[in-house]
Amino acid sequence: MKVAVLGGGSWGTALAREVSNNNNETTLYIRNEEQFEYMKKFGVNKKYLPNVQLPENLEFVNNPLDAIENKDIILLSVPTNSVRSLLDEIKDDVSDDVIIINSAKGIEEKTLMRISEIVKEKLPNNRFVTLSGPTHAEEVALDDPTAIVAASDDLDAAACVQNIFMSETFRVYTNDDLLGVELAGALKNIIALCTGVLVGLNYGDNSKAALMTRGIAEITRLGVAMGAKSRTFLGLAGVGDLIVTCTSEHSRNRKCGKLIGEGMKVEDAVKEVGMVVEGIKTTLAAKKLSDKCGVDMPITNATYDVLYSGASVEESIRKLMTRAKKHEMEGFF
């Protein structure tokens, strides 16, 4: 297959390497000119994957329209809030039979739209697949065994994506619950933020595991209310990604939460992290969605109170622990 990868961050580069290694004719678009020149010359993504020599058959371009020319598949690997403008740049040159893959996780800030919805708006006739799961780009680029899910309303399109990626070290599962996979990937950042708070407070393993488990339970409840399948949240995009994000020292959401748990003000913690902390906006989005769907999300609500209403962390945890007695699966299905 002929594949364009749009976005030369660590994840876009690692994915371009995978498809290229599988003998697909692959072109990687890098926006930053200096980075593009370096990559073209040395075959190395100096900024994001400095220790990885990229395959010789991988082509680099500095213009998205050059990248997508005559391609069967276009993979988007830009931050959630840049997807819309990138699609505006390319949409007139994308034919209807091209499969669009997205590899970002998130909900658009202004519109609360999932990425599949943005793509639907801009490219209504193209089949769409999202990639999600527990996947540090740095490990994928070093061929550490990794499993990921390719989700689509169209299982043939998902199987096509499975085919171009599948290798001895990169195992792709298909899933037809696109909504569930997208929601799981975005909402887990709230729980990662909260786990960071517990780390900052020096709480132990029991507390973190309880938070993650009850967190995935309320995310599942919201997802099911919106039409997703509960079992998706037990999968790679749900529990799998949650485990990696909540246990990784590298997660920005976890880092930000840790600073808040240590007593830093929210705005100072965000400044200190110095990059986008998706969990903060996602908490607002989830709060709106749960209110709209009438779903009880106590952890999300407590997080919202801490982030947006100046509630104390300790008091919020006490409130969570002293809620009414519950059946574990209350409101679950």
- Name the residue among 260, 41, 17 with its Cα closest to residue 135: 17
For residues 203 and 218, give the distance between their C-alpha atoms in angstroms, rounded to a whole number: 21
Look-up of token digits 């599942």? 220
What is the CA angle 240-241-242, rounded to 5?
90
Among 32, 213, 272, 288, binds its own copies (CB under 8 A): 213
Say whether residue 327 binds its own copies (CB under 8 A): yes
Among 239, 260, 284, 295, binds its own copies (CB under 8 A): 239
Question: Would you say 4 or 244 has its CB closer to its own copies?
Answer: 244
Say whether residue 69 binds its own copies (CB under 8 A): no
Interface positions, 158-197, toward its own copies (CB under 8 A): 159, 162-163, 166, 168-169, 171-176
Say whether residue 225 binds its own copies (CB under 8 A): no
* CB-based contacts of 318, cutoff 8 Å, min separation 6: none
* CB-based contacts of 80, cutoff 8 Å, min separation 6: 104, 105, 106, 107, 108, 109, 115, 278
Helix (H) or strand (E) holding 283: helix 278-293
Among 46, 231, 271, 288, binds its own copies (CB under 8 A): 231
DSSP per-residue string spanning 227-263: T--GGGGGSIIIIIHHHHHHH-TT-HHHHHHHHHHTT
Say whether residue 51 binds its own copies (CB under 8 A): no
Decide if 188 is catalytic. yes
For residues 145 and 284, give the distance between their C-alpha atoms in angstroms, rounded to a whole number: 35
Say whether residue 99 binds its own copies (CB under 8 A): no
Of 71, 105, 188, 258, the active-site residue reads 188
* Max CA distance (Å), the chain: 63
Among 81, 91, 203, 311, binds its own copies (CB under 8 A): 203
b/e string for 148-167 if b means 16 or more Cβ within 10 A?
A: bbbbbeeeebbebbbebbee
Say whether residue 65 binds its own copies (CB under 8 A): no
Smallest distance from the beta carbon of 59 to its own copies, in angstroms? Answer: 27
Smallest distance from the beta carbon of 231 to its own copies, in angstroms? Answer: 6
In the 8-state DSSP scheme, what is residue 45? B
Task: Tell me, residue by residue from 247 to 276, as one string, x for binding to its own copies by CB under 8 A and - for no binding.
Answer: xx----------------------------
Among 147, 226, 273, 276, binds its own copies (CB under 8 A): 147
Say whether residue 294 binds its own copies (CB under 8 A): no
Say whether residue 1 binds its own copies (CB under 8 A): no
Smallest distance from the beta carbon of 325 to its own copies, in angstroms? Answer: 6
Smallest distance from the beta carbon of 43 to its own copies, in angstroms? Answer: 23
- Name the residue among 51, 23, 45, 43 with its Cα closest to residue 32: 45
In terms of C-beta density within 10 A (0-12 exposed, 13-18 middle, 19 or more buried), how is residue 34 classed? exposed
Count CA within 13 A, CB hemisphere, residue 92: 2
Contact residues for its own copies (CB under 8 A)?
A: 133-136, 139-140, 142, 144-147, 149, 155, 159, 162-163, 166, 168-169, 171-176, 203-210, 212-214, 216-217, 220, 229-236, 239-241, 243-244, 247-248, 317-318, 321-322, 325-329, 332-333
Active site members: 188
